[in-house]
Homo-oligomer: A and B are copies of this chain.
Amino acid sequence: ELVQLTASQFQTPQLKGKHLVITAGPTREAIDPVRYLSNHSSGKMGFALAEQAARMGASVTLISGPVTLPTPAGVTRIDVTSAQQMLQAAEQSLTRCDAFIATAAVADYRPSESAAQKLKKGEADLSRIELTENPDIVATIARHSMRPSRVIAFAAETQDLEAYAQRKLDKKQVDAVVANDVSRTDIGFGSDQNEVLWVTRDQSQPFGPDTKSAVATFILEQLMTLDTSA
């Protein structure tokens, strides 16, 4: 068993020759030059995945929303702010992409209008923000004419993880959904730990709690065993 473990740790890179595109972090949707809508994603899970994939020999493009994390070694990073910018970067990365992993917490909605000047009390109606639905990036990639052979979505939920993940699998036409419970304060958003449920049409496998680095390795190993011929 010791021999096996050692062998597994030092084996040849399992993702050599593969190109992975990973989205990470939140998006920010401008209300005006100062204000925005966003969410609590730290980007840590996506950055851990990019780092592990590069270590496993993959060529990695990391499309990141505004985060405060350093770029992992050997990873090509593209910084974006809004969901629309993230979609554009994602589509442009499809020319050579074997797997697309969407960890980013993309804002579902953006302000219908974004003001060029700071909105001021008394001069603008600030009592409500009208919203427009953002493009669904992972669903767009999964239905794309240049669809990569593997497309993985993440699902940040606060309840009924497995049910929502199964629904997302069908709705977004992805090969697997990685669900996690963001209502827990010990894991997920901002934390270095995570606990996930890997959900495909055939199986549902929990992993963790463990470091986001270990979770990243688990996800990449699951990704490699995915049967997409079905």
Residues of A near any B CB (own CB < 8 A): 31, 33-40, 68, 105, 107-109, 117-118, 120-121, 126-131, 133, 156-159, 164, 182-183, 189
Contacts and interface: CB of A to CB of B under 8 A. Distances in A.
A128 B166 CA distance: 28
Question: Considering the complex of A and B, which 9 residue pairs feature the smallest CB-CB distances, nearest first?
Answer: A118-B158, A129-B129, A117-B158, A35-B39, A34-B39, A68-B68, A128-B130, A128-B128, A109-B126
A140 to B, nearest CB: 15
A182 B33 contact: yes
B39 A36 contact: yes
Nearest to A159: B117
Contacts of A37: 31, 35-37
Nearest to A116: B158
Contacts of A120: 164
Contacts of A164: 120
Contacts of A133: 121, 126
Contacts of A38: 35-36, 38
A229 B40 CA distance: 46
Contacts of A117: 158-159, 183
25 contacts: A34-B105, A34-B158, A34-B189, A35-B37, A35-B107, A36-B38, A36-B40, A37-B37, A38-B38, A68-B68, A108-B126, A109-B126, A109-B127, A117-B159, A117-B183, A118-B156, A118-B157, A118-B158, A120-B164, A126-B133, A127-B130, A127-B131, A128-B128, A129-B129, A129-B131
A131 to B, nearest CB: 6
Contacts of A121: 108, 133
Contacts of A157: 118
